[in-house]
Amino acid sequence: MQSGGAFGGARGLKPIPPEKGVFPLDHFQECKHVMREYLACLKENKSEAEKCRDLSKRYLECRMERNLMAKQDLSELGFTESSVSNNISDGLSVQKNS
């Protein structure tokens, strides 16, 4: 009879990586500053996510840099260079008019 680990798991088995879309929580809050900026942006823009796209991209980049999610080309996640730069320039024109 084989005995399991302290919590019933078998010892010595190699862990299986999670499915795509499942990633570790940010326990050390390494990307929390970007997340807060994004949430504030959503609040300011009445939940229009398109206006906060650059922050969304920065959040994903932060998670990838810290191995909190698999590294992936941002174009596969719906980000193109033109869509993010258009959004940034839109934000700048709004600031200039204010």
In tens, the pLDDT along 10-59 reads 666 776 665 665 667 888 999 999 999 999 999 999 999 999 999 999 99
CB atoms within 10 A of CB 22: 9
Q: Is residue 13 part of a domain?
A: no
Q: Is residue 12 part of a domain?
A: no
The structural domain count of the chain equals 1
For residue 25, the model assigns a pLDDT of 85
Q: Is residue 94 part of a domain?
A: no
Q: Is residue 7 part of a domain?
A: no
Range(s) of the domain holding residue 62: 27-75
For the question of whether the overall pTM of this predicted structure is more than 0.85, the answer is: no
Residues 6 or more apart whose Cβ sits within 8 Å of residue 57: 74, 79, 84
Q: What is the pLDDT of residues 66-94, one digit of tens each?
A: 999 889 999 998 998 655 444 444 444 44
